[in-house]
Amino acid sequence: MSMRFLTAFLLVLALTIMILLPGPGQGAPGQSKGAELIKKGQYAEAVDFYLKERDRSPGDAQANYYLGLSYIYAGKPEESEDPLSRVVVGSTGGATAHGAASLLYRYRRIRPYSCVQDSLRPPGLIRWNRKTMPLQIYVSDGRMLPGVFDDLELSPGEHVQVGKWSRNPSFMARLAVSPLYKPIHRQTVMSGYRAWDWAKSEDLIDYAFTGDPTKADLLVFWCNKLRRYDGVTYHPPLPKGKNYPTVMFINLRKSQGPTAASYQDIIREVAAHEMGHVLGLLHSPNKEDLMYPEGKGKLAISSGDRTTLRALYHMPADVLLAPVPR
């Protein structure tokens, strides 16, 4: 790192402290105490202090921000990644989140993104309960829901209806198979899901494939003419649908015509992207991320995607999804 860059970076940090650290009489008493440690240059002590604050409230934006800042000043910028990413992932904006994002990109070249779901009232985080995993995933062999669902968004009431049907052992057997479906499509979708195996190895998540749709936490159907999406995922409406599975649709429309040759790459990327939504990730504003809303035709999980998922599963969630009753 050049001396000019280091000087500029430390100036940014100093300005950040002036703007964000609480002054006398401001903020919670604990936060003011930690701020004084940083101002006095007692960075190791500040790290210890904010670790205890963060342990008391793992998702607290202020504690995580100052913990990350303390790590950077203590000469451990790699340790700042976890607390600062929690600030970004658990926020929808504001000075603290902006400061955390700026520090992460400036020093770690990482750009996590918010996972706060507006569908909750008040908005909050949704993820699966790690203690109740593995998730059971059923990828159907080309099965389509009745035509009324093939070109429409799944309403909460329709989702509950599909959930009820899916508990019937003969449900899948009665469904039509898409004429566009080929067995390789199912294998390709499953390989897209496996792109998240790195998160299994880090013990963030766990999942398994099942051949029994009545025991599935995620049901995957196919459709021929879904106009707006290549794939779409619906979490069960809460609280009414809490005992029913998440539903995913994969669009087969692009398996024909000029895109057919590259369709396996498309469907693999779509499956991995939709699996990110299943796990609780939202769309990213960053083009290099898998969770960016427009596909690139190739599967690539970025450092931003990884950091975002880690932060999400290290924080308390407002809604913890659990496997369906078996």
pLDDT per residue as tens digits for the range 205-218: 999 999 999 999 99
The confidence score (pLDDT) of residue 23 equals 41
- Residues lower than pLDDT 70 in the chain: 1-31, 147-152, 226-227, 239-241, 254-261
In a domain, 124, yes or no: no
d(CA 187, CA 174): 22
Looking at the structure, tell me whether residues 155 and 95 fall in a common domain: no
The confidence score (pLDDT) of residue 5 equals 47
**147: domain CATH number?**
3.40.390.10
Note the Cα 86 to chain centre separation in Å: 12
Looking at the structure, tell me whether residues 269 and 304 fall in a common domain: yes
Identify the three-state secondary structure at position 250.
Answer: strand
In a domain, 115, yes or no: no
Residue that is written with structure tokens 């369709």 in the block: 263
**17: domain CATH number?**
1.25.40.10
> Shortest CA distance to 84 belongs to which of 14, 28, 25, 13?
13
The confidence score (pLDDT) of residue 27 equals 45
Looking at the structure, tell me whether residues 63 and 138 fall in a common domain: no
- Number of folded domains that form the chain: 2
In a domain, 117, yes or no: no
The confidence score (pLDDT) of residue 16 equals 52
- What's the pTM? 0.88
Which class for 227: exposed (0-12), middle (13-18), buried (19 or more C-beta within 10 A)?
A: exposed
Residue 272, domain extent:
129-321
> Shortest CA distance to 308 belongs to which of 87, 119, 72?
87
